[in-house]
Chain A
Amino acid sequence: MFDIEVGSALVMGLILGGVILISAWLIWLERRLLGVWQDRLGPNRVGPLGLGQVIADMFKIFTKEDWVPPFADKLVFMVAPPIIMICILLSFAVIPIAPNVGIIDLNIGLLWILAMASLAAYSVMLGGLASNNKYALLGSLRAAAQMVSYEVFMGISLLGVVMLSGTFNLREIVESQRDGWYILPQFFAFIVFAIASVAESHRLPFDLPEAEQEIVAGFHTEYSGMKFGMFFVGEYIGVLLASALMTVLFFGGWLPPFGIGPEDSIVAGIFWMLLKTMVFVCFFVLMRAAIPRPRYDQLMSYGWLVLLPLSLINLLITGAVILFQGA
């Protein structure tokens, strides 16, 4: 039972625990990094390097009053926060961590992730709608507007990778990058996907559904206690998922860069996968530290007028090249 292979109980438990722990400590990482880039220190008091801050915050959030507003749609209000957690955690099922390490080898892995990401967007919309609060409504309105603008080109941008590797299976996509990562042939797809995944995880600069400077806290204005905690941790799991996905699709997953070290070792695979993922997580934080938020009509027009044509052209050229090479 306790053997390392795809789908064994040990691997599943480790991945689930690892994902939740890492994404909890991403909160610490983000606050420290934001501090570094804003010439501050960030939380450094609780425990070594301030690592205990997460535990302290967890205690705080568990002991807070979990208030359901009397004017809210109670059922939907309660159901919305778990949706984002569950959907994004389910997406991790198809992410290949290392050789033989993963939860399932789904032959439609990429589609599964896109589907789960779309479902997670419902959590934000439903949460905002059920709150029966005008700021929450504005937030979920923006979430809907954002969703229709990014989901299209996010899917299309990934098709280039699918065409090159000839499969939707993420493990096979990684395997097919042994001769070269897809970041080079699919550079524009990577740019488009990176922007889309920022919008997907509702992070600055595309955190329009939250936009605390404009609409209080957006869709989770009325949420408190652990329900808010689920939205909060869900956002960080989303960041981790997006980073892992970028690693798997464009940066060779667990494959070492420039052939350094063993190629098919599990430990080295986990190391490279984590390292690459963390670099992207730091990039997410850097974007939050640096780039201001656009208006949401700007985001929509940017999505439809720039990124969608870009990803379509990328798809067209990739297809032409594959056809030319195959002929």
Chain B
Amino acid sequence: MLKPVWEQVKVLWSQVRTLGMVLAHTFSKKDTVEYPDTEPYMFPRWRGRIILSRDPDGEERCVACNLCAVACPVDCIALQKTEDEEGRWYPEFFRINFSRCIMCGFCEEACPTHAIQLTPDFEMAEYERQDMVWEKEHLLINGTGKYQDYNYYRVAGKSIGGKDKGEAQNEQPPVDRRSLLP
């Protein structure tokens, strides 16, 4: 006889306890960040707006290898390779359509020269759709981005003007095939 009554009391107590616990949240700290008024902390590895960085000497890092364009799942990167008189490769044009970009960061992972990098900036809204297409002059920054000491042409074996084969960092002089006697 008393058991169902006791069950109901327990059910009611559970509801009252719930009300109390929710009421206690009156005094808890709010989770909301009022974004335009207070800027949230953006982590350095946040995947936001894409930039093209320069090496420590101030030259473009991008060697126009097209790996980023291949890796891009939405095909938003377009570029064309060209070469300067010293033999350095660089993109003739480099275009990212940010209206397609999904900020996945695959291009950054694919890049062999740390040229393309994602930044913590996300405020990229535009009124005109065409303004979402960024060319190389918009993408290039004057710094090295996240990798400050890396210079591809200084460590790579490719010969360019002023640096022949074997003169790169940690590189042995090339093997002289004619001196290899049995």
Residues of A whose CB lies within 8 Å of any CB of B are 36-41, 286-287, 289-291, 306
Provide the residues of chain A in CB contact with B19, threshold 8 Å: 286-287, 290-291
What are 22 residue pairs bridging A and B, where the CB atoms are less than 8 Å apart in the complex?
Answer: A36-B26, A37-B23, A37-B26, A38-B25, A39-B25, A39-B31, A39-B32, A40-B30, A41-B30, A41-B34, A286-B19, A286-B22, A286-B23, A289-B22, A290-B15, A290-B18, A290-B21, A290-B22, A290-B23, A291-B18, A291-B19, A306-B8
Whether A39 and B23, one on each chain, are in contact in the complex, defined by CB atoms closer than 8 angstroms, is no
Whether B23 and A41, one on each chain, are in contact in the complex, defined by CB atoms closer than 8 angstroms, is no
Is B179 in the interface zone, CB < 8 Å from A? no
Is B28 in the interface zone, CB < 8 Å from A? yes
Contact with A along B23-59 (1 / 0, CB 8 A): 1011011111010000000000000000000000000
Question: What's the least CB distance linking A284 to chain B, in Å?
Answer: 12
Smallest CB gap from B23: residue in A: A286
Please tell me the number of chain B residues within 8 Å of chain A, measured between CB atoms: 15
- Taken together as a complex, chains A and B put the C-alpha atoms of A120 and B49 apart, in Å, by 55
Question: What's the least CB distance linking B139 to chain A, in Å?
Answer: 34
Smallest CB gap from A310: residue in B: B8
- Taken together as a complex, chains A and B put the C-alpha atoms of A291 and B11 apart, in Å, by 12
Question: What's the least CB distance linking B77 to chain A, in Å?
Answer: 38
Provide the residues of chain A in CB contact with B32, threshold 8 Å: 39-41
- Taken together as a complex, chains A and B put the C-alpha atoms of A103 and B24 apart, in Å, by 39
Smallest CB gap from A290: residue in B: B22
Residues of B whose CB lies within 8 Å of any CB of A are 8, 15, 18-19, 21-23, 25-26, 28-32, 34
- Taken together as a complex, chains A and B put the C-alpha atoms of A306 and B19 apart, in Å, by 21
Q: Which of B15, B21, B22 has the most CB of A within 10 A?
A: B22
Question: What's the least CB distance linking B32 to chain A, in Å?
Answer: 5
- Taken together as a complex, chains A and B put the C-alpha atoms of A40 and B33 apart, in Å, by 9
Provide the residues of chain A in CB contact with B23, threshold 8 Å: 37, 286, 290
Question: What's the least CB distance linking A179 to chain B, in Å?
Answer: 29
Question: What's the least CB distance linking B40 to chain A, in Å?
Answer: 15
- Taken together as a complex, chains A and B put the C-alpha atoms of A290 and B19 apart, in Å, by 6
Smallest CB gap from A305: residue in B: B4
- Taken together as a complex, chains A and B put the C-alpha atoms of A33 and B123 apart, in Å, by 31
Question: What's the least CB distance linking B153 to chain A, in Å?
Answer: 52
- Taken together as a complex, chains A and B put the C-alpha atoms of A234 and B15 apart, in Å, by 27
Q: Known A-B contacts: A39-B32, A41-B34, A290-B21. Give 12 more (CB < 8 A).
A: A36-B25, A37-B22, A37-B23, A37-B25, A37-B26, A39-B25, A39-B31, A286-B19, A287-B19, A289-B22, A290-B18, A290-B22
Whether A39 and B28, one on each chain, are in contact in the complex, defined by CB atoms closer than 8 angstroms, is yes
Question: What's the least CB distance linking B159 to chain A, in Å?
Answer: 61
Smallest CB gap from B25: residue in A: A37
Smallest CB gap from A288: residue in B: B22
Whether A291 and B15, one on each chain, are in contact in the complex, defined by CB atoms closer than 8 angstroms, is yes
Provide the residues of chain A in CB contact with B18, threshold 8 Å: 290-291
- Taken together as a complex, chains A and B put the C-alpha atoms of A290 and B22 apart, in Å, by 6
Provide the residues of chain B in CB contact with A290, threshold 8 Å: 15, 18-19, 21-23
Question: What's the least CB distance linking A221 to chain B, in Å?
Answer: 29
Provide the residues of chain B in CB contact with A40, threshold 8 Å: 30-32
Question: What's the least CB distance linking B147 to chain A, in Å?
Answer: 39
Provide the residues of chain B in CB contact with A37, threshold 8 Å: 22-23, 25-26
Question: What's the least CB distance linking B125 to chain A, in Å?
Answer: 18
Smallest CB gap from A282: residue in B: B23
Smallest CB gap from B24: residue in A: A37
Which 5 pairs of residues, A with B, have the shortest CB-CB distance?
A290-B22, A41-B32, A290-B18, A39-B31, A290-B19
Smallest CB gap from B33: residue in A: A41
Question: What's the least CB distance linking B38 to chain A, in Å?
Answer: 12
- Taken together as a complex, chains A and B put the C-alpha atoms of A315 and B8 apart, in Å, by 20
